[in-house]
Structure 1
Amino acid sequence: MSLARLNEPAPEFEAASTHGKIKLSDYKGKWVVLFSHPADFTPVCTTEFGGFAERTAEFEKRGVQLIGLSVDGVQSHIAWAQDIEQIFGHKVTFPIIADLDREVSNAYGMVQPGESSTNAVRAVFFIDDKGTLRAMIYYPLNVGRNMAEILRVVDALQTADANGVATPANWEPGKPVVVPPPANSNAVETQEEAKQKGYDYKRWYLRMKNL
Structure 2
Amino acid sequence: MTYASPTYVEETRLGFRFLATHTWQHHVLRVAINDLKRLLGEPLPRGGVLLDAGCGQGKSFRLLQAAFAPDRLIGLDADPHSLALSRAEAQREGIAVELIAADCAHIDLPDASVDVLFCHQTFHHLVEQERALAEFWRVLKPGGRLLFAESTKAYIDSWVIRWFFRHPMHVQKSADGYLAMLRAQGFRFDDANVSLPYLWWSRAKDFGLLERWGLRAPPPPGQREETLVNVAARKPAQA
Question: Above 0.5 in TM-score?
Answer: no
Between structure 1 and structure 2, the one with the greater Rg is 1
Which structure has greater helix proportion?
Answer: 2
TM-score of the superposed pair, with normalisation by structure 2: 0.27
